Amino acid sequence: MIVPREPQTPASVADHYDELDPFYREIWGEHVHHGLWATGLETPDQAVEGLIAHLADTLALETGQHVCDIGCGYGATAEWLAAQYGTHVTGVTLSSAQLRQAEKRAAQSPLLHFIRQDWLANTFPDGIFDHVYAIESSEHMPDKQRFFDEAYRTLRPGGRLAVYAWLAREKAGAWEERLLLEPICREGRLAGLGTVPEYRDWAEKAGFKVDGIENLSAKVKRTWTLCSGRVARKLLTRAEYRRYLLNAHSRNRVFALSLPRIWLAYTTGSMVYGLLTAHKPSSLA
Ligand SMILES: C[S@@+](CC[C@H](N)C(=O)[O-])C[C@H]1O[C@@H](n2cnc3c(N)ncnc32)[C@H](O)[C@@H]1O
């Protein structure tokens, strides 16, 4: 696993999303995840929705099921799933700023419930969820084994898990680690970037049967061209963006450096965007 030279904590992750909240909502919108271009012809909004439609297919959601969104951001994915499938979604986030937006969604739908909690120290009872998913949150967690152990514990037997994750190339070279992967971790408050075999291993050690790990890098990479363009335009047209970047007290301004770095890491294959799907066996027999 690639780890940042400054260890990340739940507090530093929460601070990242709280301080950057206005920028995230303007640049990414309410979905803080990649878009998925299945045909290549989708608009950016269609691509963002495409990723959660892909998730819904993967989980084979049914009306009335109870699902957990680990690292739910602003709750937009949960809202979409509840509206399209009639599923109950419980979302957890570390960020107060995100929770405030998510709670506005919950006020409009009895199917939605959000809390601010560290997944690695969650208080959910055993076997409470039909399905569990994480979109780009496991990277922030230092103890990946516990991430999977908790997913396994809170899932009912037969329940499915879907994890969309930023991953590091297996056996990344020294230059990739130094110039791309370590800085990406540090600048984005990622506690660690695991590899495909590591994710498989953690899932299996937790007790899951892994159904597959799909490499979606080519279908999501365009996200970073779009985001870099949006940030560049804001910097040219909006003084508060320039002030934030030039202010030495802006604790998370370093994240701006990651935008071109991530694009480059996908281009070189140093970083991979993967979907791990797994299920909790129905019986121990
Ligand atoms: C890149 S955002 C993705 C948000 C959301 N899944 C989406 O796709 O819009 C990462 C999310 O993971 C959450 N997160 C990171 N570490 C967490 C932890 N230990 N427990 C709960 N949430 C966590 C953050 O609070 C944030 O909401």
Return the ligand 1 atom nearest residue 147 CA: 19
pLDDT tens, 190-246? 999 999 999 999 999 999 999 999 999 999 999 888 877 777 777 777 777 667 666
Average pLDDT value for residue range 135-146: 97
What distance lies between CA 207 and its chain's CA centroid? Answer: 22
Kindly state whether residue 203 falls inside one of the protein's structural domains.
Answer: yes
Q: How many domains does the chain have?
A: 1
Q: Which two tokens stand for residue 66?
A: 């109870």
- Asked if the structure places residue 177 within a domain, the reply is yes
**Does the residue 2 lie in any domain?**
no
CB 55 near ligand 1, within 6 Å: no
What CA dihedral angle connects 85, 91, 95 and 97, to 10 degrees? 40
The ligand 1 atom nearest the CA atom of 122:
20
What is the torsional sign of CA 48, 52, 58, 60?
negative
Q: Is residue 161 within 8 Å of 133, Cβ to Cβ? A: yes
18-48 pLDDT tens trace = 988 988 888 888 899 999 999 989 999 999 9
Mean per-residue pLDDT over the chain, rounded: 92
- Give the CATH number for residue 233: 3.40.50.150
Residue 120 Cβ contacting ligand 1 at under 6 Å: yes
Distances (CA, A) of 133 to 129, 143, 188, 279: 10, 17, 21, 11
Whether residue 5 lies inside any domain: the answer is no
Give the residue whose CA is nearest to atom 19 of ligand 1.
118
Residue nearest to atom 14 of ligand 1 (CA): 71
Contact 122, 150 (CB under 8 A): yes
Q: Tell whether ligand 1 has an atom less than 6 A from the beta carbon of residue 71.
A: yes
Give helix 239-246 / helix 222-237 axis angle, nearest 10°.
100
* Angle, alpha carbons 164-168-170 (nearest 5°): 120
Is residue 3 one of the residues assigned to a domain?
no
Q: Please tell me if the CB atom of residue 137 comes closer than 6 angstroms to any atom of ligand 1.
A: yes
Distance (angstroms) between ligand 1 centre and the Cα of 188 equals 12
Cβ atoms within 10 Å of 30's Cβ, excluding its own? 18
Is residue 88 in some structural domain? yes
Report the pLDDT value the prediction gives residue 244, as an integer from 0 to 100: 64
pLDDT number for residue 20: 86
264 lines ligand 1 (CB under 6 A): no
Decide if 202 is inside a domain: yes
Give domain status of residue 272, yes or no. yes
Could you tell me if the CB of 90 is within 6 A of ligand 1?
Answer: no
Q: Is 118 in the pocket of ligand 1 (CB under 6 A)?
A: yes
Q: Determine the structural domain holding residue 81 and report its residue range.
A: 10-279
112-131: average pLDDT:
98
Neighbours of 138 (CB within 10 A): 27
User: What does the pLDDT read at residue 285?
Assistant: 47
pLDDT above 80 (res 77): yes
Distance (angstroms) between ligand 1 centre and the Cα of 219 equals 22
User: 188 in ligand 1 pocket by Cβ < 6 Å?
Assistant: no
**Is any ligand 1 atom within 6 A of the Cβ of residue 189?**
no
